[in-house]
């Protein structure tokens, strides 16, 4: 006859509880690590942002993991952190105005086997911008503008992407540190194409973009202070670029440069196709190169964002005139930057790239 005492089930429960209690601090630690914290943007640059870069849809700015974002990002950051990533996703990641749209269209056409009919669908619909909604807070605007109807990829870009069928195409300007944790931890490995551009041209292009689409009302000099000081949305610039550059040899990451797209577009098309596992013939390469020419892109309503600019004009959300695709040239900064400013950017670039092999 067996001696009396706790049953095996009870003993197993006690052991399980003990293990659970031991593991709990570890689990809590990981959970805390994945929780986003936000800080204010202070000092002279914070003042410039508040005075010259707030408006009806942008009430302020915060920092998270060292990067500047709109105040509205507080409501979306954790949802992005917890986003369910799929291995067959294709992501295009970049700092703003570095060739993002160009790269998106190239990658989509290649991966969709040259479906030019499908490419007539607006790019934001078929290749949505994950962080679109946090950039534009329409909460107080929509009640007064009932005629302003926003599609889901604008009103809630995170939900839109969550509900997409595979394969998904996702654009983001978020830095590595703010990508979904499944990407950072390597539990999911979607293909990621990162595109970078030299800092001076990026700054000039981003300045014009922020005037016509995001409501910046300050001077170019103050904008350069914000750029150099890492106080624009998605900044600081160099950590954003370098954290992908150092991962360029990972099999699911392709690092491209805007300057290479301008110099030899067919070569970049072939490189991208190889990364995506597609074998293109010369006729296809030539066809896509023509489709991606600056003139064709600028006149293509599916990719030129003129509809978004028209909405801003119609509802007086921003006041500056201009086009989303402006010049597309390398070295355009020389038309607006003086010698002293160019020298300052060059010193800043050299300091940040000194320990890397990256050049522009």
Catalytic machinery residues: 173
Q: Which tokens hold the place of 97? A: 């105005």
List, in order, residues 6 or more apart from 35 with CB less than 8 Å away.
78, 81
Helix residue ranges per DSSP H, the chain = 8-34, 43-52, 77-81, 100-111, 123-126, 132-135, 152-155, 157-162, 181-184, 199-213, 220-228, 237-245, 258-263, 265-275, 282-291, 294-299, 306-314, 339-353
Question: Do 68 and 233 touch, CB atoms closer than 8 A?
Answer: yes
List, in order, residues 6 or more apart from 98 with CB less than 8 Å away.
195, 196, 197, 202, 258
**Number of CB atoms found within 10 A of residue 347's CB:** 10
Question: Do 254 and 91 touch, CB atoms closer than 8 A?
Answer: no
Beta-bridged to residue 195, according to DSSP, are 94, 256
């Amino acid at each position: 006859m067996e001696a009396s005492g706790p049953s095996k089930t009870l003993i197993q429960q006690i052991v399980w509880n003990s293990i659970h209690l031991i593991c709990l601090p570890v689990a809590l630690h990981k959970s805390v690590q994945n929780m986003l914290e936000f800080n204010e943007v202070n000092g002279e640059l914070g003042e410039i942002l508040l005075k010259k870069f707030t408006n009806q849809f942008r009430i302020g700015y915060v920092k998270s993991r060292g990067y500047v974002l709109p105040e509205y990002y507080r409501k979306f950051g954790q949802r992005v952190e917890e986003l369910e990533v799929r291995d067959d996703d294709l992501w295009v990641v970049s700092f703003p105005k570095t060739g993002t749209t160009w790269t998106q269209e190239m990658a989509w056409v290649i991966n969709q086997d040259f479906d030019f009919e499908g490419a007539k669908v607006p790019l934001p619909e078929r290749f949505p911008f994950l962080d679109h909604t946090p950039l534009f807070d329409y909460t107080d605007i929509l009640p007064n503008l009932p005629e302003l109807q926003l599609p889901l990829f604008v009103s809630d870009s995170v939900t839109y992407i969550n509900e997409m069928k595979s394969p998904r195409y996702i654009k983001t300007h978020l830095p590595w540190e703010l990508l979904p944790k499944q990407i950072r931890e390597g539990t999911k490995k979607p293909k990621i194409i990162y595109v970078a551009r030299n800092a001076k041209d990026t700054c000039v292009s981003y300045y014009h973009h922020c005037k016509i689409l995001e409501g910046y009302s300050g001077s170019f000099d103050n904008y350069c202070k914000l750029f150099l000081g890492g106080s624009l949305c998605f900044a600081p610039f160099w950590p954003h670029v370098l954290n992908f550059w150092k991962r360029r040899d990972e099999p699911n990451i392709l690092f491209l440069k805007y300057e290479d797209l301008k110099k030899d577009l067919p070569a970049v098309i072939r490189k991208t196709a190889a990364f995506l596992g597609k074998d293109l013939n010369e006729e296809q390469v030539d066809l896509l190169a023509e489709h991606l020419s600056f003139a064709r892109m600028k006149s293509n309503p599916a990719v030129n964002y003129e509809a978004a600019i028209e909405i801003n004009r119609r509802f007086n959300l921003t006041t500056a005139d201009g086009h989303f695709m402006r010049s597309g040239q390398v070295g355009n900064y020389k038309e607006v930057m003086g010698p002293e400013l160019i020298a300052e950017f060059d010193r800043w670039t050299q300091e940040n790239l000194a320990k890397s092999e990256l050049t522009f």
